[in-house]
Structure 1
Amino acid sequence: MKNIYLFLSLLCFAHFASAQMQVNAYARVTNISGNSLQLSQVDETFDSFEDGEQVLIIQVQDDVIGSNTANNSSFGDLDQILNAGNFEIAQILSHTESAGTPISITLQNSLIRPYSTGTNSRLQIVSFPQLGSPNYTTTADLTAKAWDGQTGGVLAFEVLNQLTLAHNISVDGLGFRGGAVSRNYSGPACSANGVYISSSDEYGEKGEGIYPNTNPNYTYARAKMLNGGGGGAHHNGGGAGGGNYTAGGEGGRGYNGGGNVCPAATAVGGQSGLALSSQIAPNRIFFGGGGGGGQQNNSRGTSGANGGGLIYIKAQEMISSASCSGITISANGNDAASWTNDGAGGGGAGGSILLAVNNFNINSTCPLLVEANGGTGGSSLSSPHGGGGGGGQGVIFYSSTEPNSNVLSRTTNGQAGCNNNSSPCNNFAGSPSGTNDDGVFDEALLPLELSYFKAQKANNKVDLSWGRSQTDQTNWFELQRSANGLHFETLTQIPSQDQQQHYSWTDESPLQGQSYYRLLQIAQNEEQAISALRTVYFENGALALQIFPNPTQNELYLQLNQTTDGLQLELLDIQGRKQSIQYEKEADLYKIHWNNLPQGIYFLQIIGPNFHQIKKIQIH
């Protein structure tokens, strides 16, 4: 059904080329147990989660604020980054649904990186569809669902061979949300510079960042919210810009009741959204921080702007149409609106773009612009009040050398808003830190991923073969084998070759009975990834068995072709934990039963004097 739906969607959008097209499904992960993920807030409007398909797991927010929660300028500082920004590609083994909506997903393998699912954490799973077969040409502008505090903000897909860009790809303003403008409130001028946190909307609201605020007492006033910009205080303080690779700019100082802005000592503008450059890496990325809201008393302030979202594209080659006015791939922060008399909002920070693409062949008549820029702070177009701070720049990662033939890459800081109506402006809010385009990186070590892994019987041997993506940075492979699927031995180690995608090795002396094979990838930065298991069975001529029924509910029968003394039976869950079972023997038939085991995949170990076999069963 999914492929039919996607095909119809493509046809529909082909008739309306100006429309924007989405290709992802989203869900919040509320719990992780081994390979199993519990889901909520599932959105399958444009795609669905299906067995065998790939997904992107990303820690959008985590409890990174620590004890930095007092009403002072240290509020919103980073305590520990914890798992914020961690992400990886995984594959769905199976899933369960309720009323047609997925409620849990079991992955082929355990997740490589650590993740958090607590109250002050937001972990998201996003479908990672393959578009085309193997080539794909865009039929409409591509975009994503906007981040809503639970899911969204990510556009991710793979094209196995050639991706032709005939339309724009954008997640502009789909990342962390900007803070709201305050209600009308006329406090004394330059009087609230010491109010950093508040539950009152007489102050501008803080922009959103990598800490998910659940405390209403932290919502408003000057302090940043990690990389979210602080709100303006009274009166007429400007909101600060959000941060990502660089910090946002401070909000304008506010109205002093006369002909100037507040002095620095009593400034009431929001604090800059933090720079995350020390934490950002090819396997740790963030949405752009939202700008803080301005403070108003004449209904003329403006809200903070949203930050940019995340784009992750994998392709062998990226090309552009034969002729066009230009194509963009963008994760820009939004500009804040300008108005008069009151405090303006801060600009949103640029988001993040990852392009795991080996070759770029961009036509000179259809050039490509890749950008993750900060948004402009709003201006207060009147006598000196508080303009909004500019949004910080985002980040761009290329897995190969940065393309420069008909491709322009940029991550620029957003401009600061003006505090007055002078022309040209002579009094600005704060500008973001850092140098433009510092956020562009190439030859990045993106997450490891196998194209395939196979184990096939060949006479009395096992031929093992696998392929890797040309975009990954595997240093070497380690082939491992197990008799029980739990304890593995190393068979061989094989170095990865730069230009080699396909590998093979033969197990000359396979085990009798059931064997389990897996492949370990080790990257240049020592990150590791483990493949899905592959099984091979060699009949040993001494013992044959059957199990039935399978699937089952609370009992199982084991039929042997001979009477065997000293047989031991063990039932293990998918994490390898032994479960309590009872069994009785009658000649060559064993009846096995248990009480109240959860639904799922289990493994029955049959252990005898000269053999060890494992059978997978499903309990429903």
Structure 2
Amino acid sequence: MTLLDNYKLFTDFAPTTEISTQNTTAWRFSPDEYFGTGKDGTLVVNELDTVRINKFAQVLKVTKKGSKKLKVNRVNIFTAGKEVYIIQMKGSNAGESMFARVTTVDFNRSFIIISAGLTFDCSSTESNRCQVVTVPHFVSVTLKDQATISGASWNGETGGIIVFRSKNMADVGSRSSQISACGIGFRGGTYGENGNKYGFQGESYTGSASRSHAANRGGGGGGSRYSSGGGGGAHSSSGSDGSYGNGGVAYATSSLTEKIFMGSGGGGGGKDSTCCALPGAGGNGGGIVMIFTPVIIGSGGTISSCGGKGQDAGHNFAEGGDQGGGGGGAGGSVLLITDSEIPKNGSVSIDVTGGAAGTKSNVEYRANAGGKGGYGVYKWLQNTRGPMTLY
């Protein structure tokens, strides 16, 4: 059974960044109903507060498809009976993911056993990264004015994801409230150093970043050694070229239930031989947001996974010499699954735009600009038959 046997795509809500082709494979859910058990209680995020609701652990060993046993680096965050989300973030099988329930936690040997066998090989060796994320089950979620649900930034091993189920509803609040994974995705490249050095490429779903103007798959290329800007990161659309660094290449799949990715980072700006002024670093990509709830309401609140802005370059007025600006990070992924019709009056906004390019302007000098980050992708799916158990 595929996810879309029970859900239909809202096409009238889709922006130009939406990938509308549907050709999904099976995507496993936990034994819980789609909208969860409510066992984690009611979440109210008060005015001006920012909360993080997920915890993360890296899978330490190569774990083959079909296995239920995962060795992790933070076993103490897991509880038997609770749901987890397992995702290959980088490398082979990048973007593959599944939900399952924890059946056993072995604190002495640092492993968990899950309720269903892996649907993909999960590995964190060499350039591969696989993680396990806790999935809270709320009764309801409410954001007050200027409240934020955020996520831990991707650090090269874990993070970058916001995911929860809410049994009754999610209220994203007013225009000043947000559920935001902006800038917590794949990391932007660092800038060039003294001695005419290229900036680093932005991070992406595969490969390692290096000092090069070429794109790192989705990651923007670094600015050249002569002060040029880094390329923008990519996701559902390619990043824009910087003044020399190449923009990243688009890679999003046709369905967020088949594979799901974070946005790639922008390339770092290049540096000239001047000693003191600094180029701009590339912006981080957007992360991943997944919400499962019967109804999403709001009064202008935002659900976002936008790319981070490329850092502006500096200028050394005493010695001369501009530096390259950083490329913007790409937007990430937002997946919303509900029973409700989509709000038609702008009460809920979704933002998966790419980050702006880093630059520097003044009356006398202008640094070489980076490229803008590419768009992310989102889907809002409506349940047509009510919550179901898939296994």
1:133-183 CA distance string (max 9 Å, x none)? xx3323531000000000000000000122222231001100011111111
- Unpaired segments of 5 or more residues in structure 2? 1-39, 316-321
Relative to the length of structure 1, the TM-score reads 0.50
Is 1:239 aligned to residue 230 of structure 2? yes
Question: Could you say which residue in structure 2 is the equivalent of 1:224?
Answer: 215
Is 1:124 aligned to residue 134 of structure 2? no
Question: Could you say which residue in structure 2 is the equivalent of 1:607?
Answer: none
Following TM superposition, where does structure 1 have runs of at least 4 consecutive aligned residues deviating by more than 3 angstroms?
A: 113-117, 277-281, 360-364, 382-385
* Paired residues of 2:137 and 2:164 also in contact (CA < 8 A): yes
Question: Could you say which residue in structure 2 is the equivalent of 1:358?
Answer: 339
Question: Could you say which residue in structure 2 is the equivalent of 1:206?
Answer: 201
Between the aligned residues of both structures, percent identity stands at 30
1:486-532 CA distance string (max 9 Å, x none)? xxxxxxxxxxxx53656xxxxxxxxxxxxxxxx9x5xxxxxxxxx2x
Question: Could you say which residue in structure 1 is the equivalent of 2:284?
Answer: 306
Is 1:35 aligned to residue 68 of structure 2? yes
The 5-angstrom pairing of residues 176-575 of structure 1 reads 176-186=186-196, 202-213=197-208, 219-252=210-243, 269-277=244-252, 281-297=256-272, 298=274, 299-320=277-298, 324=299, 326-339=300-313, 340=315, 341-360=322-341, 362=343, 364=345, 367-381=347-361, 383=365, 385-400=367-382, 471=383, 499=385, 501=387, 531=391
Is 1:138 aligned to residue 143 of structure 2? yes
Distance in 2 between residues matched to 1:500 and 1:175, nearest whole Å: 32
Q: CA deviation at 1:283?
A: 2.1
Q: CA deviation at 1:374?
A: 0.4
Is 1:107 aligned to residue 114 of structure 2? yes
* Paired residues of 2:191 and 2:269 also in contact (CA < 8 A): yes
Distance in 1 between residues matched to 2:371 and 2:235, nearest whole Å: 14
Residue among 99, 123, 127 paired with 1:89: 99
* Paired residues of 2:233 and 2:239 also in contact (CA < 8 A): yes
Distance in 2 between residues matched to 1:85 and 1:394, nearest whole Å: 14
Distance in 2 between residues matched to 1:162 and 1:500, nearest whole Å: 14
- Unpaired segments of 5 or more residues in structure 1? 1-5, 63-81, 187-201, 253-268, 401-470, 472-497, 503-518, 522-530, 532-620
Q: CA deviation at 1:87?
A: 1.1
Distance in 2 between residues matched to 1:225 and 1:25, nearest whole Å: 29
Q: Which amino acid aligns with 1:244?
A: H
Distance in 2 between residues matched to 1:317 and 1:170, nearest whole Å: 18
Q: Mean Cα displacement is larger for which, 304-313 or 334-343?
A: 334-343
User: Against the structure 1 CA distance between its residues 361 and 248, is the aligned structure 2 distance closer, same or farther, given a 3 Å change threshold?
Assistant: closer
Report 1 or 2 for greater relative contact order, CA contacts < 8 Å, sequence distance ≥ 6: 2
Whichever of the two has the greater Rg, that structure is 1
Q: CA deviation at 1:184?
A: 2.5
Distance in 2 between residues matched to 1:212 and 1:23, nearest whole Å: 30
Distance in 2 between residues matched to 1:398 and 1:43, nearest whole Å: 33
Q: Which amino acid aligns with 2:172?
A: L
User: Against the structure 1 CA distance between its residues 161 and 221, is the aligned structure 2 distance closer, same or farther, given a 3 Å change threshold?
Assistant: same
* Paired residues of 1:180 and 1:292 also in contact (CA < 8 A): yes
User: Against the structure 1 CA distance between its residues 171 and 278, is the aligned structure 2 distance closer, same or farther, given a 3 Å change threshold?
Assistant: closer
Relative to the length of structure 2, the TM-score reads 0.78
User: Against the structure 1 CA distance between its residues 204 and 280, is the aligned structure 2 distance closer, same or farther, given a 3 Å change threshold?
Assistant: farther
Residue among 162, 165, 180 paired with 1:158: 165
